Amino acid sequence: MSEFTYQGGVFHAEQVPVPQLAEQYGTPLYIYSRTHLIRQYRALADAMKSIRPHIYFAIKSNSNLAVIHTLANEGAGADVVSGGELYRARKAGVAADKIAFAGVGKTVAEIDYALGEGIRFFTVESEEELTRISERAAALGSVGRVAIRVNPDVDPKTHKYTSTGKAENKFGVDLTRAERAYELALKLPHLEVVGLHMHLGSPIMSPAPYAEALEKVRPMCETLKRDITTFRHLDIGGGLGISYRPDQAPLDPRDFASAVLPALHGLDMEVGMEPGRFITGNAGILVTRVEYIKDNPFKKFVIVDVAMNDLLRPPLYQAHHEIVPVIQTDESIFGDVVGPICESGDFMAQDRSLPAVRAGDYLAILSAGAYAFVMASNYNTRGRAAEIMVQGDQVEVVRARETWDDCIRGEVMPTWS
Ligand SMILES: Cc1ncc(COP(=O)(O)O)c(C=O)c1O
C-alpha cells in the first residue's frame, strides 16, 4: 500500500497535494511519508514477532535524522557502517547498545569512537580487524564485542554491485576460514565474542537465499553456542526487496518469516535483522520540474531539474524508477528523462513511455526513499535537494536545500597564490 496516491487527479503525499509542496519548497524535492516508514517497520516486526527480533535499521538506506528518529521511536536500533553514521544514529536518539557497526574498512578513529560509545557489537569482516579492535580496546581499557561476518557464498540473485554474500565479494570471512577467525577472536584478550553475522545483498525478491544461507551457517552457530558462553546473537542482515514497478511483487514479510523462522527454530539465539530499503524505499518520492522538452531527429528528451547528483541509482545500477505526473493525464510521449549534468549517464529513464508533459510541469520519481538522497553529491556544484517529511496533512522540512555557499563551504584559496 502506498501513501503516494492520486486524489481527484492530483498526486498526494499522504493528505498533501504534491504540486503544492513543489511550489512551496521548490524542486528537486525529496518527500518522505512517515506513515509508510512506520507501517513497514511494524509489518516486519509483526511477521517475525514469535522470535522478537532485534531490528537494526540500516541507516545507509536513508540517514536523515528525522527518518532514523521515527524508527528509533518504534524501537529500532541502527546498523551503521561508518563513524559518521554512528554519529547520526546517536544524534537521532538511538541508544548505543542498540547499534551494530559493520563494514570492511573501519579505521582506528571509528573503532575508538564506537568503543567509547559502548555499541552493542562490531560486525567484523577479517582477522586483521579482530586484531585491531582488540588492540584499540586494550589501549582504551575497554572490551570490544564482536560478531564475525561470514560469507556463506549464496547467490542473492540481484545486481552484481549489490550482491555481498558470494565468495568473490569483499565482504565477510569465507565459511572455510570462519573457524580460524573465531579461534583468533577467542585468544585476543580484549574481545567478547557475541555472535555471527551475514548479509547476502540487496534487493532480494525471494526468501529462498536466506533459507539456503541459514542452512549453511546453522551448524556453525550450534557449535559456537556450545563452546562459547557469550555467543548468543545471530544477525541475518537486510536486503528484503520492494516493488519498483507496478507489476513487481515485493518480498512479503510473512513469506520471509515462513521461510526463515523454521530455519531458526530451536537454535535458541537472539536474532538480529538489518532492513533498510524495505522500510524506506517506497516511503519516498523525488519531485522534479520539467525545464525543456528537446527533440532531436532520433529521440525526445524531457530535461528535468533532477540530475544524477540527486539520484544516482538509474546510471549506477541501471535501476528502474517509475515516473508519474503530479496532475494525472492519459496522454503519453516516448523518450528519455534526463538531467542537466554534463554526462550522457545523467538520466532517470531511457526509452520509456512517459506522461505527456510540458516545460514547467512537475513529475514524481517513485521509490526514492532508499539509496537515493544518501548518495547525492555536489557534482557540477549543484546543491543537494531539500528533504521534507509528511504525516497526514502535516509537513516539515527535515533537511534544508543546500545553497551555493553550502557547496563551497570549507574551501580556501592559498594565501601564497
Ligand atoms: C551489512 C548490511 N546490512 C544491511 C544492509 C541493508 O540492505 P537493505 O537496505 O537492502 O535492507 C546492507 C546494504 O548494503 C548491508 O551492507
Determine the residue of 162, 274, 278, 279 to mutate for testing ligand 1's pocket, defined as the one with the most ligand atoms within 8 A of the Cβ atom.
274
**Bond from prior residue into 203 cis (ω within 30 degrees of 0):** yes
Longest Cα–Cα distance of the chain, Å, equals 71
Q: Specify whether 239 is located in the same domain as 271.
A: yes
SS3 of 386, please? strand
* Count: domains in the chain: 2
Q: Specify whether 14 is located in the same domain as 54.
A: no
Q: How far is the CA of 265 from the centre of ligand 1 (A)?
A: 24
The answer as to whether 413 is a domain residue is no
Which of the following is catalytic: 342, 358, 411, 414?
342
- State if residue 382 touches ligand 1 by the CB under 6 angstroms criterion: no
Under 8 Å CB-to-CB from 296, ≥6 apart: which residues?
none
Is residue 48 a contact partner of residue 405, using CB atoms and an 8 Å limit?
Answer: no
The atom of ligand 1 lying closest to the CA of 202 is 10
Domain with 229, as residue range(s), is 34-278
Q: How far is CA 316 from its chain centroid? A: 15
Q: How far is the CA of 61 from the centre of ligand 1 (A)?
A: 8
The answer as to whether 417 is a domain residue is no
Q: What is the DSSP string of 322-379?
A: -EEESB--S-EEEEEEE-SSSSTT-EEEEEEEEE---TT-EEEE-S-SSSSGGG---G
Locate cell 532520433: which residue?
298
Question: Which of the listed residues 221, 248, 278 is the one where a domain comes to its end?
Answer: 278
324 phi, psi to nearest 5 deg: -125, 155
Q: Specify whether 274 is located in the same domain as 383.
A: no
- State if residue 203 touches ligand 1 by the CB under 6 angstroms criterion: yes
Give the Cα-Cα-Cα angle 76, 78, 82 (nearest 5 degrees).
170
Amino acid at 68: I
- State if residue 101 touches ligand 1 by the CB under 6 angstroms criterion: no
393 phi, psi to nearest 5 deg: -105, 15
Q: Specify whether 80 is located in the same domain as 40.
A: yes
Is residue 400 a contact partner of residue 47, using CB atoms and an 8 Å limit?
Answer: no
β partners of residue 4: 13
Q: Specify whether 161 is located in the same domain as 201.
A: yes
CATH number at residue 47: 3.20.20.10
Q: How far is the CA of 57 from the centre of ligand 1 (A)?
A: 9
> Order of strands, edge to edge, in the sheet holding 4-7?
4-7, 10-13, 16-17
The Cα–Cα gap between 43 and 119 comes to: 26
* 342 classed as catalytic: yes
Under 8 Å CB-to-CB from 401, ≥6 apart: which residues?
25, 26, 383, 384, 385, 386
Determine the residue of 56, 57, 61 to mutate for testing ligand 1's pocket, defined as the one with the most ligand atoms within 8 A of the Cβ atom.
61
Q: Residue 81: which of 250, 257, 316, 238 has the closest Cα?
A: 238
pLDDT one-digit tens code per residue, 169-208 = 777 888 889 999 999 999 999 999 999 999 988 889 999 9
Give the pLDDT score at 366. 98
The answer as to whether 416 is a domain residue is no
Q: Specify whether 99 is located in the same domain as 244.
A: yes
Q: How far is the CA of 280 from the centre of ligand 1 (A)?
A: 12
Q: Specify whether 374 is located in the same domain as 236.
A: no
Cα-atom radius of gyration of the chain, to the nearest Å? Answer: 23
Q: What is the DSSP string of 19-37?
A: HHHHHHH-SSEEEEEHHHH
Give the pLDDT score at 101. 98
Give the pLDDT score at 111. 98
Q: Specify whether 221 is located in the same domain as 129.
A: yes
pLDDT, averaged per 10 consecutive residues of the chain (417 residues), comes to 96 98 98 98 98 97 98 98 98 98 96 98 96 98 97 72 65 88 96 96 89 93 96 96 93 94 94 98 98 95 98 96 97 97 96 97 98 98 98 98 98 94
Helix axes 175-187, 127-139, angle to 10 degrees: 20
β partners of residue 101: 80, 122
The answer as to whether 205 is a domain residue is yes
pLDDT one-digit tens code per residue, 231-263 = 999 999 999 999 999 999 999 999 999 999 999
Give the pLDDT score at 202. 83
Question: Which of the listed residues 260, 278, 296 is the one where a domain comes to its end?
Answer: 278
Give the pLDDT score at 128. 96
Question: Which of the listed residues 233, 250, 278 is the one where a domain comes to its end?
Answer: 278
- State if residue 201 touches ligand 1 by the CB under 6 angstroms criterion: no
Q: Residue 11: which of 328, 280, 332 has the closest Cα?
A: 328
Q: Specify whether 20 is located in the same domain as 131.
A: no
Q: Specify whether 173 is located in the same domain as 188.
A: yes
Q: Residue 124: which of 90, 114, 10 has the closest Cα?
A: 114
**218: exposed, middle or buried (Cβ count in 10 Å: 0-12, 13-18, 19+):** middle
pLDDT one-digit tens code per residue, 284-313 = 999 999 999 999 999 999 999 999 999 999
Question: Atom 4 of ligand 1 has which residue's CA nearest to it?
Answer: 238
Under 8 Å CB-to-CB from 186, ≥6 apart: which residues?
193, 228
Q: Specify whether 246 is located in the same domain as 318.
A: no
The answer as to whether 217 is a domain residue is yes
Q: Residue 324: which of 313, 314, 337 has the closest Cα?
A: 337
- State if residue 102 touches ligand 1 by the CB under 6 angstroms criterion: yes
